[in-house]
A and B are shown apart, each in its own frame.
Chain A
Amino acid sequence: MDDNTPDIEITELRKLTQVIKDKYDYEFKDYAMSSFKRRIKRVLDLYKFKNVDKLINVLENNPDYFEEFVSEITVNVTEMFRDPTFWKVLKEQIIPNILLNHNKITVWHAGCSSGEEVVTMCAVLDELGALDKAKIIATDIDTAIINKAKNATYSMKNMEVNNKNYARYQGTRSLEYYFKETNGEAVVHKSLLENVSYRKHDLVQGAIFSKFDLILCRNVMIYFNQTLQNAVLNKLHESLFKYGYLAIGSKESLIWCEIANKFIVVNNEEKVYKKVKD
């Protein structure tokens, strides 16, 4: 790490989030402090802004820059079949359970990033012969990353880790079944993603827009503080049908959240919960 920029003070971050709220109506004040501070520091380094005031100044005067800024402060790291054992549980228990009672399944990927998670879901559904029963919505706050998700084209370099994950998930095919290699890139077959619609949506300020059988919100709320986690969990809870499932990241937990009593744990290791109370 380098240390060209001085420490960023909390008061500066407060000022920044207030300007963003006033001008763009996005609310970042309850993002987890240590990572948010590093994201801002990264932006200062990247654009050679000398301090937070300079960044504020640019945001105030260049509305065009805002989306790029959001893109830079969000953490988009993702993989296909990330946490392979989670996908195994989804395939063997959760999705079959949902389909036991309905002939349809609605899924929301909240914070889908570049879409690897969505491709994974479609592959799992396909392997279960249930892809045509699915309606999938994938959302993210970051416009650039949503476009990337729509494109569903990934560098072959990234496919290495994806392939390893797929092997650990013990898939019945090989991951290559789902894409075509063109110019060093893996282009996911369009037919696999036919039932997916991609939208920009902000979990913090955005309204509830539908109800789902299954919501994946994995490795998104770790960037929020507890206050915001509680608020977002309320929205996710409201967006689930009764007896619907919520999956969070394998290192996240509902235990100390206010809403915990409205869910039961379905799989503690893989962090899958079921809504049991409205």
Chain B
Amino acid sequence: MRYQVSNKYKAVVIGGSAGSFQGITQILANIPKDFPLPMFLCLHRLKHVRNGFVEALSIKSNKIVAEPFDKESVKKGGVYLAPANYHLCLELGNTLSLSTEELVNNSRPAIDLTFESASYVYRDKLIGILLSGANKDGAYGMMKIKEKGGMTIIQDPQESMINAMPNAALAATKIDHILTVNEIVNFLLELDKACRG
């Protein structure tokens, strides 16, 4: 399958829940240290465990993974992880914001909120990637990304440990690419090349 990589893209959002840890670690281990686009990660996680998750994700990552503070500015190539028990959103003007609004899809952080707010800010210049998971969080967000002309990618339900989440996205909107984690990595590497011009 040929992907339409181009240097028009400005950001990547990744959502995942049960069964996504391995995939996300593999992605972080394989993208280069100077991958130029910012990445926003919204992964379902234990509510009251504030520490440890960033560290676990960082072990094999080439990039520094950080939990942002409220109203932190997005930096080129930064990797931002939604903190435990906070929704992570993008604001116009290139900042991140946090919120403790109600749970959405039983989740806080909720992938739908990260994806929708990112689609509003980055419009057709956003790539949304949804990995394995046990509920439907992210499906609405993927729909919003598609509505704004962004690119939608799901982890192949066949490969996903739990495929409810990718399948829900598939049912909700047009998915541009159904890829295994290996293929997602290759895609990101090509994107990396394209963005460097």
CA distance A176 to B92 in the complex (A): 45
Within 8 A of B (CB), among A209-247: 219, 221-223, 225-226, 229
CA distance A42 to B91 in the complex (A): 19
B70 touches A1 (CB 8 A): no
Option from B69, B89, B113, B120 in Cβ contact (under 8 Å) with A252: B69
Q: Which of A27-35, A88-96, A98-106, A259-267 contacts B (4 or more CB under 8 A)?
A: A27-35
A38 touches B91 (CB 8 A): no
Option from A3, A38, A251, A256 in Cβ contact (under 8 Å) with B86: A251
Would you call A97 an interface residue if the criterion is a C-beta within 8 Å of the partner chain's C-beta atoms? no
Who on chain A is nearest to B97 by CB? A32
A219 touches B48 (CB 8 A): no
Would you call A249 an interface residue if the criterion is a C-beta within 8 Å of the partner chain's C-beta atoms? yes
From residue A243, how far is it (CB to closest CB) to chain B in Å?
Answer: 25
B99 touches A225 (CB 8 A): no
Number of interface residues of B (CB under 8 A): 29
Would you call A199 an interface residue if the criterion is a C-beta within 8 Å of the partner chain's C-beta atoms? no
Would you call B143 an interface residue if the criterion is a C-beta within 8 Å of the partner chain's C-beta atoms? yes
Who on chain A is nearest to B83 by CB? A251
Would you call A133 an interface residue if the criterion is a C-beta within 8 Å of the partner chain's C-beta atoms? no
Would you call A164 an interface residue if the criterion is a C-beta within 8 Å of the partner chain's C-beta atoms? yes
A residues near B59, Cβ cutoff 8 Å: none
Option from A3, A34, A250, A256 in Cβ contact (under 8 Å) with B97: A34
B residues near A226, Cβ cutoff 8 Å: 71, 95
CA distance A75 to B113 in the complex (A): 15
A221-B70, A250-B50, A251-B98 are known contacts; what are 17 more A-B pairs with Cβ within 8 Å?
A: A1-B112, A3-B143, A32-B91, A32-B99, A35-B97, A35-B99, A75-B99, A75-B102, A219-B100, A222-B70, A222-B97, A223-B99, A225-B71, A225-B91, A229-B71, A252-B69, A252-B70
Complex A-B: 20 CB contacts under 8 Å: A1-B105, A1-B112, A33-B91, A34-B90, A34-B113, A34-B117, A35-B97, A35-B101, A75-B102, A77-B102, A168-B48, A219-B100, A222-B70, A222-B98, A223-B99, A250-B50, A251-B69, A252-B69, A252-B70, A256-B72
9 residue pairs, one from A and one from B, having the closest CB atoms: A253-B69, A34-B89, A1-B140, A34-B117, A222-B70, A77-B100, A35-B99, A32-B97, A252-B70
A→B interface (CB under 8 Å): 1, 3, 32-35, 38-39, 75, 77, 83, 164, 168, 219, 221-223, 225-226, 229, 249-253, 255-256
B→A interface (CB under 8 Å): 48, 50, 67, 69-73, 83, 86, 89-92, 95, 97-102, 104-105, 112-113, 117, 120, 140, 143
